[in-house]
Structures are given as structure tokens and as C-alpha cells.
Amino acid sequence: MVGARILLVEDSETQALQIRRMLESQGFAVERAPTAEAALESLNGRLPDLVVADYRLPGMNGDELSRQIRLNVRTRAIPVLMLTEAQERDLERQGLESGADAYVAKSADPAFIFLRIRALLRRSPMADGARADARAFGAATSVTPTFTAFRRARLLLVDDSATNRTRLARLLGADGYTVEVASSPEEALAAATAPDTSWDCVIVRLQGAGFDGIELCRRLSALRSAGAAAGAEASFLEIVALGGGDPPEKGLLTRALEAGADDLLPATAGPDVLGVRIRAIMRRKLLQDENRRIEAELRERELAIERARAEAAAAAAKAALAEALAHANGELEKANRRLVETQAKLVQAAKMASLGELVAGIAHEINNPLAFILAHQGTAERLLTRIESSLRGDERALPLLAKCRERTRSMGMGLQRIQDLVLKLRKFSRLDDGGFQTMDVPEGIETVLALLAHKIGDRIVVSRHYEAEPELFCSPALLNQVVMNIIGNAADAIPDQGTIRISTRSDDEIYLIEIADSGPGIPPELRERIFEPFFTTKPIGSGTGLGLAIAYTVVRSHNGTIKVGDSPGGGATFTVTVPLRRGP
């Protein structure tokens, strides 16, 4: 149903635009025709799933459009929804009798209009099988285009009077017919039997002509009968005789009908009467043609209905089972989602516990020899000072002593960096302690950056903008899991050189941590999924898909939010917002 094609027939540009936007907002594909005539022309191409037409149209009204759609076997299965003004309810019966499926006021609530449209599309027979039938009928248009495609009806006017031919051709042309003229029976018969040519009606003047009009009607009827015997449906043309007064003479009417004419129109009739009679004849012809086609189709559809009833009974039996299965599947999906979330939490908790023990052990093992080296480094510097004082006059030894002092100072700087790293490792190992506590946010972020220095290196410039107050009463996981995962992912996402911007802000109610990078960013269609457990965009073996899932859970445990958006530098921006707490 989503993506169904709708043909909108509306002459008002403003109303057409409003209705089009309303329908397209629901996923429908809309094609617009400003008049009923243009709509019929468009139906010669690809068929829509639904026709929505205004009743008041210039030229042909909506009810006549519906009638024309129902007359054609290729289009009669298309549902038609008629739009009216609220005060035009009296037109509903007239429109429905003409073939419309439903009426809706233009001022109706859009939701009601969509319900009407969906109901019509749901019960529409234009499914695959019906479309195949329509294509099969449409394929016949290469042989009999008169009966399977909308076009201007073709009339052949036979009269030896140039004045009469011109007058009648102008009159019929004004009604939308394609009119060709012949001045003699030979010319008329040649036109009627021309290859690849079909006529809807031949109008023959009986009296006052320089030829025998009755005999021409007889010969045209013989051609029609021969074509019908051969199965050429295009030969079912209407033969209309024109002559006599109103009412016609009995003898003339009898001879004309016996010769094969289908009707006798009074030659003295005015333009309005003649136009109405011709239109009625054309309508009758279309009905007869369609009836011949419908009879064969109804026989096939009776068999299809019996099969459909049997299938419906089987479908009804399956419906209850399907509903129960859908309910069970829903419950199973919920349970599976809870299991996945719990598993992710357990995995992350075990990982963080192991990491804390490992970091604490490493820090302890490094700290002991580090303290030994630092102590002896200080001793070495003092001894160098004493040696330098005792060798003040030795010009050869003093440069060597200066070089030794420079090396020991460099050693001291390196050892100090190792000592700082060990201190940060020990702090990080204590961050896994449970419960909320007062944290120094800038210090915690700097610890995270130190631990991620191997990822960041010299290729990524980290800018810090700590505008919030430093202390925050929170869970340590807010820093050692949320911030670390976001910064680590940002470093992984930046392929070469780049930047990471870390900023904090706060007011009386919230504390905000924002981390933006210059990487490739996250596509909008993936932004909701990145917080799902085990979902990752990294190559196989490079990520578990748990980092952001745990980060989401931690932030939610703080009654906060975590959002992802576009970064001014072209990458992604993660914004963590938690309520500001002052302490226990």
C-alpha cells in the first residue's frame, strides 16, 4: 500500500498542491491531471492504483469521468474516490450510480481521507493477477485500439453536399470527435475497408444525395457482418442514417433499419438535438463492446471466486495461528533483548574488573623499581656535584662531567613522566569502585587521555575547554567508561591527522560533557543503532560493539541523556548531559 500510485484529477492549482502534499506525506506517488479529458488520456499509459477526482471539473464532470472509467475493461477495476464540497451531498447518489466507489468532502479531516484511501486500496482488485489481465487486454490494443484505449471517437460522414459536410463536420468536431468526410459511396467504402483503420460510426445522408444512401447502408452492414464472422471486433461500428423529419417517416425508417442502419436521425434536427443523439449512440456502442468482453471475463471470475472462497476459509483458519505466533514471537524478542542487554553488562563489568586488577598490578610492579631508580638517580646527581667541585682545574674532565649531568637530568624527566603515568594508572584502577562519589572531572578526563595516548599520539590534536565547575557527584563509570569509550572511538575513526575537542559546561541544573571529532562522522540511519549491544561499524575483530551500549546504560543510570550529531569539523559530536548533584 505504501508507494501506491494515485491519479489526482483537480483543476484548481492551489487545491491540487495541498492534496498532493497531503498524499505524498503518507508515501503515495501522485500524478495530477487538470481535467477529466486529460485524466482519460493518461489512463492509456501506466494504470494508477486509485483515482481521486473532484466532482466539479471544467468540461466533463467527475461523474462522467467515473462512468467512462467503468466502461473500459482495462480501467474498470480501478477504485474512484470523488471529492465534493460539504454542501454537495445531494450529488453523492448521482456520482455513485455513475461508478464512483466513495465520496469524501474536501473539508474532511485528513486522517479520515487516508482511511478511505487505504480501504479502497485494500479491497482494490488491481493486484498482480488483475494487472496481468489488464495488460492482456491492453496487448489487444495493437489490433483493436478503439475498445481498449481512451481516444477521440472517429466518425465517417458520407454526404455529396460540400455545404452539408462542412456544417456537420464542424458540429461534430466541436463535441470532440475526429471527423472525416466522403462524398461518394466508393470513397466511403474505400475508407471503411482501409487496412489498420477502424471507425466508431458512419453517418450516411439518405435523402437529397446524389447516390443511393439505403444501398450504401446495406453494403456497410454486409462489411460489418463479414468482419464479425471473422472475429474482428473493430467491425462492430455504428451505422447512422440521416434523413427525414422529426418524427421520421415510417417507410423511410423501415427501409433504413432493414438495410442495416442502427438509427435514423432527423435531417431537420437542430445542432443540440443532433449532438445529444450522437453522444447517446456512442455511449451505447461502448456499452455493447464492453458487455461482450465482460461476459467472457465473468465466466473466468466465477471460477476465481470459488477458488478465492476456498482460500479464504483456509486463510481464516491460519489467521488465529498466525496471531498467536506473532504474540509469542513478540514476547521472545523482548526476552532476547533483555538477555542481550544483561549479557553486555556482565561482559563489560568483567572486562572493567579485570582491567582494574591488571592496571593496579602493573602500577604496583612498576612503582617499586621506579622508586629505586629515582633514589639512585638523585644519589648520582649529588655525587656528580661533589666530583665537579674536586676537579675544577681539570679542563679535560669538566666537559665530560657536564655531559653526565645533562644525561642525569634527562633521565630524571623521563622517570618523572613514568611516575605520573603510574599515578594515573592507580587512580584509574580505583575508579571502578561502586557508588556515587565526588569526582574531579578535568583530572579524570586527563587520566583517560593519558591512558589513550597510544591511540592519540602526535597525529591528533586534543583541545580542552573546561568551562564547568571541576567537581561532579557521579558514578566513576561516567569517566572511566563513557568518556573513555567516546574518545577511544573518536581516535579510531580519525584516519590520519585530526582534532578532538573536549568541552564541559554546567548551570544550576545540568552538567554537560561534549566530545567532537574531525572524523568521517556517523550516518543518520545508524545513529539510533550505535547504542545497541554488539552493534559495531568497525572491521571484524576490531570491536565488540559494547562500548557505546554500556555508555548509554551508564548515562541512563544517572537520569541523563547521550546524543550524537554532526560536528562543525565534519565528524561526530557526542553530548552527555546529566543532572547536577552536589553530593551525599
pLDDT (tens digit, 9 = 90+) per residue, 500-531?
999 999 988 899 999 999 888 888 888 877 87
Can you give the pLDDT at residue 50? Answer: 92
CA distance 417 to 403: 22
pLDDT in tens, 45-73: 889 999 999 988 888 888 888 888 878 87
Half-sphere exposure for 460 (CA within 13 Å, toward CB): 27
Cell of 366: 612498576
Which conformational region is residue 561 in: left (phi greater than 0), alpha (psi within -120 to 50 degrees), or beta?
beta
Q: Are 282 and 151 in contact (CB under 8 A)?
A: no
Question: pLDDT band at 158, cuts 50/70/90?
Answer: very high
Return the half-sphere exposure (C-beta side, CA atoms, 13 A cut-off) of residue 37. Answer: 9
pLDDT at 346 over 70: no
The 8-class DSSP code of residue 557 comes to H
DSSP track, 242-297: E-S-SSPPHHHHHHHHHTT-SEEE-TT--HHHHHHHHHHHHHHHHHHHHHHHHHHH
SS3 108: coil
Residue 257 has pLDDT above 70, yes or no: yes
SS3 225: helix
CATH T-level assignment (fold) for domain 5-144: Rossmann fold (3.40.50)
Within 8 A by CB and 6+ apart from 382, the residues are: none
- Mean pLDDT rounded to a whole number for the chain: 78
Q: Measured between alpha carbons, how far apart are the two ends of the chain, in Å? A: 57
* pLDDT (tens digit per residue) in 530-583: 877 666 776 655 555 667 777 787 888 888 999 998 888 788 999 999 998 766
Q: Give me the pLDDT at residue 128, please.
A: 40
In the chain, what are the helix, strand and coil shares in percent, each to the nearest 5? Answer: 55, 15, 30
Measured distance CA(264)–CA(88) in Å, rounded = 39
**Which has the minimum average pLDDT: 126-140, 230-244, 422-436?**
126-140
Name residue 76's amino acid.
Answer: R
Q: CA-CA distances (angstroms) from residue 346 to 352, 434, 454?
A: 10, 15, 27
Q: Which long-range contacts (CB under 8 A, 24 or more apart) does 215-219 make?
A: 215/185, 215/259, 216/158, 216/185, 216/188, 216/189, 217/241, 217/256, 217/259, 217/260, 217/261, 218/259, 218/260, 219/185, 219/189
User: What SS3 state is found at 437?
Assistant: strand
> Cα dist. 509→49, 234, 297, 468 in Å?
55, 83, 74, 12
Which residue has 471527423 as its cell numbers? 179
DSSP H or E stretch at residue 501: strand 498-506
> pTM of the predicted model, to two decimals?
0.34
The C-alpha atoms of residue 491 and residue 542 are separated, in whole angstroms, by: 13
- Domains 5-144 and 152-269 belong to one CATH topology: yes
The CATH architecture assigned to 436-579 reads 2-Layer Sandwich (3.30)
Residues 6+ apart with CB under 8 A from 99: 63, 66, 67, 69, 70, 76, 80
All three cell numbers of 364, joined, read: 604496583
CB contact at 8 A, 206 and 244: yes
Looking at residue 417, what is its pLDDT?
66
Helices (H), 45-84: 62-71
Cβ distance 75 to 40 under 8 Å? no
List the chain domain ranges: 5-144, 152-269, 299-423, 436-579
Residue predicted with more confidence, 227 or 304: 304
State in words which class domain 152-269 has. alpha beta
CA atoms within 13 A on the CB side of 564: 21
